[in-house]
């Protein structure tokens, strides 16, 4: 067994997990510069998503002119684009990793395959169940938030930013959105772990102990509503439709990437695309830990950080016992 394998995991990154949050390194300029460089000045996943958002805005999604009044045609257009995008991203990741098994077990966290013949899942099949929740209320509510926000922007009911008049703000909002999303996700997610809400709404997502691309947006509709309420930020601060589309990609298809069950996509043995994080994989295995992600420091500050070690597992189990 090599150092990145263990009894529990087919693959894990070097442990204990390093603290990569920029918020715990605010007094270290080199760390912050490196964080900016990695995320925003190199060909990162974020830059890729912004590029896709720009193309979608100029060539695919309806313009603000067209969306001034609620009309079935443009609403359906947005719905259809989102449905296609979700099927393309989650579907191709699933096909690549779990049907063709093109990367074998390299960088795959869990030893087990996705679950079949298990009555906990709709149709007794994890993948079909996950597809169902993703493609019904997932895409529907993702679209609903986008439609309402686009309509608000088109009518000037919310502040709209323009790159040409304020490029600095435009860039700041791009950098801010993933941070906002991580902040919002942590708190909404903690709320969902209160036993009352957990049993009714969040347990559905957590039936996926071993996760795949379709698990990302596989949630109870109430969880969808809470998770996607992160879009309300566009009702408060000045943003551009490109920001909104970037945010849609971030909350929707990107959730399929982060739940793919593999750390990175390899092309010719080189890590080319960051996918799942061990951080969230630990949350799916041990539940009462790592409610947020690496971006925000909350888990570390509130003592719910699981760094992948035995000791963290024991602490998490003790916490779980106290909660229920
Ligand atoms: Zn959870
Ligand atoms: Zn998850």
Residue 221 CA to ligand 2 centre (angstroms) = 15
Whether 281 maps to a domain, the answer reads yes
Question: Which ligand sits nearest to residue 191's alpha carbon?
Answer: 1
Kindly state the DSSP code that residue 108 receives in the 8-state scheme. B
Question: Quick one: pLDDT band at residue 1, thresholds 50, 70, 90?
Answer: low
Average pLDDT along the chain: 96
The residue segments making up the domain with residue 258 are 22-323
Range 264-271 average pLDDT: 94
3-state class (DSSP) for residue 272: strand
- pLDDT for residue 25 is more than 80: yes
Residue 144 CA to ligand 2 centre (angstroms) = 22
Question: Which ligand sits nearest to residue 320's alpha carbon?
Answer: 1
Whether 178 maps to a domain, the answer reads yes
User: Token pair of 212, please?
Assistant: 């795949």
Q: What's the confidence (pLDDT) of residue 211? A: 97
Residue 140 CA to ligand 1 centre (angstroms) = 22
Q: What is the pLDDT of residues 212-235, one digit of tens each?
A: 999 999 999 999 999 999 999 999
Residue 187 CA to ligand 2 centre (angstroms) = 14
Name the least confident of 7-21, 183-197, 254-268, 310-324: 310-324
- What's the CA gap between 256 and 201, in Å, rounded? 20
- What's the CA gap between 99 and 274, in Å, rounded? 20
Structural contact between residues 276 and 261, judged by C-beta atoms closer than 8 angstroms: yes
Residue 288 CA to ligand 1 centre (angstroms) = 8
Residue 144: CB atoms within 10 A of its CB come to: 18
Whether 217 maps to a domain, the answer reads yes
Please name which of 78, 131, 91 lies closest in space to residue 244, comparing C-alpha atoms. Answer: 78
Whether 4 maps to a domain, the answer reads no
Please name which of 255, 257, 317, 253 lies closest in space to residue 285, comparing C-alpha atoms. Answer: 317
Residue 276: CB atoms within 10 A of its CB come to: 25
Question: Which ligand sits nearest to residue 257's alpha carbon?
Answer: 2
Q: What is the pLDDT of residues 62-86, one digit of tens each?
A: 999 999 999 999 999 999 999 999 9
Residue 285 CA to ligand 1 centre (angstroms) = 10
User: Token pair of 148, please?
Assistant: 């309402």
User: Token pair of 216, please?
Assistant: 């990302």
Residue 104 CA to ligand 2 centre (angstroms) = 22
Whether 105 maps to a domain, the answer reads yes
Q: What's the confidence (pLDDT) of residue 176? A: 97
Question: Which backbone phi and psi does 273 adopt, to 5 degrees?
Answer: -145, 125
Whether 245 maps to a domain, the answer reads yes
Q: What's the confidence (pLDDT) of residue 236? A: 98
Specify burial of residue 72 (Cβ count, 10 A radius: 0-12, 13-18, 19+).
exposed
Residue 215 CA to ligand 1 centre (angstroms) = 12
Q: What's the confidence (pLDDT) of residue 122? A: 96
Whether 212 maps to a domain, the answer reads yes
Q: What is the pLDDT of residues 181-194, one digit of tens each?
A: 999 999 999 999 99
Q: What's the confidence (pLDDT) of residue 183? A: 97
Question: Which ligand sits nearest to residue 281's alpha carbon?
Answer: 2
What percent of the chain clears pLDDT 90, i.e. is strictly above it? Answer: 96
Question: Which ligand sits nearest to residue 291's alpha carbon?
Answer: 1
Residue 107 CA to ligand 1 centre (angstroms) = 23
Question: Which backbone phi and psi does 11 adopt, to 5 degrees?
Answer: -150, 140
Quote the longest CA-to-CA distance of the chain.
61
Residue 145 CA to ligand 1 centre (angstroms) = 22
Q: What is the pLDDT of residues 122-177, one digit of tens each?
A: 999 999 999 999 999 999 999 999 999 999 999 999 999 999 999 999 999 999 99
Q: What's the confidence (pLDDT) of residue 324? A: 66
Question: Quick one: pLDDT band at residue 321, thresholds 50, 70, 90?
Answer: confident
Question: Which backbone phi and psi does 262 adopt, to 5 degrees?
Answer: -120, 150
Is the CA virtual torsion 298, 300, 304, 309 positive or negative? positive
Residue 187 CA to ligand 1 centre (angstroms) = 11
Q: Cα 312 to the chain's mean position, in Å?
A: 24
- What's the CA gap between 12 and 107, in Å, rounded? 8
Residue 259 CA to ligand 2 centre (angstroms) = 6
Return the C-alpha torsion angle 210, 131, 217, 75, nearest 10. Answer: 170
Residue 222 CA to ligand 2 centre (angstroms) = 15
Question: Which ligand sits nearest to residue 189's alpha carbon?
Answer: 1
Whether 59 maps to a domain, the answer reads yes
Q: What is the pLDDT of residues 103-123, one digit of tens each?
A: 999 999 999 999 999 999 999
- What's the CA gap between 264 and 307, in Å, rounded? 19
Q: What's the confidence (pLDDT) of residue 320? A: 86
- What's the CA gap between 207 and 200, in Å, rounded? 13
How many domains is the chain partitioned into structurally?
1
Residue 283 CA to ligand 1 centre (angstroms) = 7
Question: Which ligand sits nearest to residue 208's alpha carbon?
Answer: 2
């Amino acid at each position: 067994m090599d150092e990145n394998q263990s009894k529990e995991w087919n693959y894990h990154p070097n442990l204990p997990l390093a603290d990569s949050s920029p918020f715990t390194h605010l007094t270290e300029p080199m760390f912050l510069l490196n964080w900016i460089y990695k995320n925003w000045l190199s060909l990162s996943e974020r830059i890729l998503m912004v590029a896709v958002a720009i193309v979608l805005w100029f060539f695919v999604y309806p313009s603000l002119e067209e969306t001034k009044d609620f009309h079935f045609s443009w609403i359906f257009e947005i719905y259809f684009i989102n449905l296609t995008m979700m099927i393309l991203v989650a579907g191709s990741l699933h096909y690549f990793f779990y049907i063709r098994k093109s990367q074998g077990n390299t960088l795959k966290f869990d030893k087990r395959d996705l679950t079949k013949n298990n009555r906990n899942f709709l149709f007794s099949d994890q993948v079909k169940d996950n597809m169902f929740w993703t493609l019904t209320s997932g895409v529907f509510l993702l679209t609903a938030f986008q439609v309402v926000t686009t309509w608000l922007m088109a009518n000037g009911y919310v502040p709209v930013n323009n790159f040409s008049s304020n490029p600095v703000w435009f860039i700041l909002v791009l950098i801010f959105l993933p941070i906002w999303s991580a902040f919002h996700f942590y708190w909404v997610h903690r709320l969902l772990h209160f036993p009352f809400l957990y049993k009714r709404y969040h347990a559905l997502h957590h039936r996926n102990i071993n996760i795949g691309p379709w698990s990302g947006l596989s949630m109870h509709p109430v969880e969808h509503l809470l998770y996607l309420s992160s879009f309300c930020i566009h009702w408060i601060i000045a943003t551009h439709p490109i920001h909104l589309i970037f945010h849609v990609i971030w909350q929707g298809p990107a959730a399929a990437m982060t739940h793919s069950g593999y750390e990175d996509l390899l092309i010719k043995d080189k890590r080319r695309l960051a996918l799942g994080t061990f951080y969230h994989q630990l949350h799916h295995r041990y539940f009462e830990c790592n409610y947020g992600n690496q971006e925000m420091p909350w888990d570390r500050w509130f003592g719910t950080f699981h760094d992948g070690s035995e000791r963290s597992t024991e602490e998490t189990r003790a916490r779980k016992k106290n909660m229920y």
